[in-house]
Amino acid sequence: MNDPLTLAERKVYHLLIDFLADHTYQPSVREIARRCRIRSTRTVVELLASLEDKGFIEREHGRSRGVKLLGFESLAGVQPIPLYARVNPRVPYLTPENRERFVAVDRRFLLSNDSFFLKVAGQELADRGVRDGDWVLVSPPTRAKDGDLVAARIGSDVLVRAATHLGAVLSLGTGVAGDKELFLGPTDDFAVLGAVTAVWRPIAERIEQDEER
């Protein structure tokens, strides 16, 4: 098992991965220093040596870009999925100004090509295993069964809740006994954006943000 990376090592390692995906070749030592805001190229060389010792990379010494990522596979078989923190109150609900980023996901996890990530706000679904800040993967054409989670726009808000179909009425709640349900009918201003098919918890991103504070 590889030894854990320090914050500086992780920044360099992630740069190596992202840079290779964008350029098909690795950055030079000077480019790593500039992009990671490292003042000394010697420090970069030491970080690369540490990554090699920990089993994350191999280096071809004497070459400026002679770095090989161990275990790294090409991006074949993945699809970029947009991540949204909010939606619009009117069609179109998902627009570029509300998009935070794209996340590359293995296509085997996707039920539809128009799937998207939505960032959850609040702890109402904690008993269902969904916490504040989690990302839910939403599939618009997938019909949710009773008790499944859906993403729904209600007025100008977006909620992730458990859905139950009651004829022409849709009940939204957490699915936990005693929870207050929200009943929506044909005259209400709402739209179901899709069924939740997976939950992502970006723990590493939160740890990195805490370390930088």
Six-digit token string for 159: 């909620």
Predicted structure pTM score = 0.66
ω into 140 cis (within 30 of 0): no
Is the separation of the CB atoms in 189 and 154 below 8 Å?
A: yes
What is the spatial distance between Cα 77 and Cα 92, in angstroms, rounded to a whole number?
28
Q: Quote the tokens at residue 143.
A: 């019909």
pLDDT tens, residue order, the chain (213 aa): 356 788 999 899 989 988 887 887 899 999 999 999 999 999 999 999 999 998 889 988 767 678 888 876 656 677 889 999 889 888 889 888 999 988 888 888 899 889 999 999 889 898 888 999 999 999 999 989 999 999 999 988 899 999 999 999 999 988 666 678 899 999 999 999 999 999 999 876 665 555 555
CA 79, chain centre distance (Å): 12
In angstroms, rounded to a whole number, what is the distance separating the alpha carbons of residues 44 and 32? 7
